[in-house]
Amino acid sequence: MQSLLSANDLHVSYGAVEAVRGVSFDIRQGEIVAFLGANGAGKSSIMNAITGLVPTASGQVMFEGRDITGAAPETLAPSGLTLSPEGRRVFGTLSVADNLRMGAFALNDKDAVEAAYARVYELFPILLERKDQYAGTLSGGQQQMLAVGRALMSNPRVLLLDEPSLGLAPLIVDQIFDLILKLRDQDVTLLVVEQNVAKTLQVADRAYVLVNGEVVEQGKPAELSASGTMQDAYLGAN
């Protein structure tokens, strides 16, 4: 099956520091693929490079057979590629509904916007209850739901989730991972960066393990769980 999203020999640098060193990956339609690794392994830098938030030093990113390397971030959501960033980054002084509308900027059809609202509110009923509330007054878990909901408003084919469970209570973490499976069932392809390795391996179809900006292993969850390489990737960073 042809890759929906892929990268070849991707390099990302911050000044003299090379954060991503020749990473290659591919994601096929309908998959949940995870990037795993300790803090500083380069996971978020890859996500930001894919979406044009940081420049690539070299390498290539392909989406649906098109070269999107270095594309402006605002051009990617209309084409079906959306990022839900680490740290939620909701607009605290805007209402829940207005935050969601910010994610629908690529939709010009009023009916499409209303359908997107309906989908998000079905996935997250609490957001419907709080739709007129300022986003800054929501709990951490509710803000994460809002961040994911905002990313879904553009009806992406591929959704990039950067640390979706970070700082959340265990019950909310369970809900977030249930959501990931539900989105896959709705034909959304997902790339997930996550520190919660156990939960991630329960939902991912495949994963890439990164150390110091390089892929050191890749495979299915069962293969990685039995591998000492993944354990070393975390323990070696402590």
State the amino acid at position 156 in one-letter form.
P
Residue 68, domain member (yes or no): yes
At residue 144, does pLDDT exceed 80?
yes
Confidence band of 110 (pLDDT split at 50, 70, 90): confident
53-82 mean pLDDT: 91
| Same domain for 193 and 76 | yes
Percent of the chain whose pLDDT exceeds 90: 55
Please tell me what DSSP assigns to residue 157. Answer: S
CB burial class (10 A; 0-12, 13-18, 19+) of residue 15? exposed
CB atoms within 10 A of CB 110: 8
Per-residue model confidence (pLDDT) at position 230: 66
Collapsing DSSP to helix, strand or coil, 143 comes out as helix
The tally of domains found in the chain comes to: 2
Query: For position 42, which CATH number holds?
Result: 3.40.50.300
| Same domain for 56 and 95 | no
State the amino acid at position 149 in one-letter form.
G
Residue 23, domain member (yes or no): yes
Residue 137, domain member (yes or no): yes
| Same domain for 162 and 238 | yes
Residue 126, domain member (yes or no): yes
Per-residue model confidence (pLDDT) at position 111: 87
| Same domain for 64 and 11 | yes
CB atoms within 10 A of CB 17: 8
Residue 229, domain member (yes or no): yes
Which DSSP string do the residues of 52-76 spell out, in sequence order? TSS--SEEEEEETTEE-TT--GGGT
At residue 26, does pLDDT exceed 60?
yes
18-46 mean pLDDT: 93
| Same domain for 165 and 61 | yes
What is the C-alpha separation between 175 and 111, in angstroms, rounded? Answer: 29
pTM: 0.88
| Same domain for 148 and 204 | no
Which DSSP string do the residues of 4-63 spell out, in sequence order? EEEEEEEEEEETTEEEEEEEEEEEETT-EEEEE-STTSSHHHHHHHHTTSS--SEEEEEE
Residue 18, domain member (yes or no): yes
Per-residue model confidence (pLDDT) at position 238: 39
Q: What is the token pair recorded at 204? A: 């991912």
Residue 70 structural domain? 1-80+157-169+187-238
Per-residue model confidence (pLDDT) at position 141: 85
- pLDDT (tens digit per residue) in 159-181: 999 988 887 888 888 888 998 99
Contact 22, 10 (CB under 8 A): yes
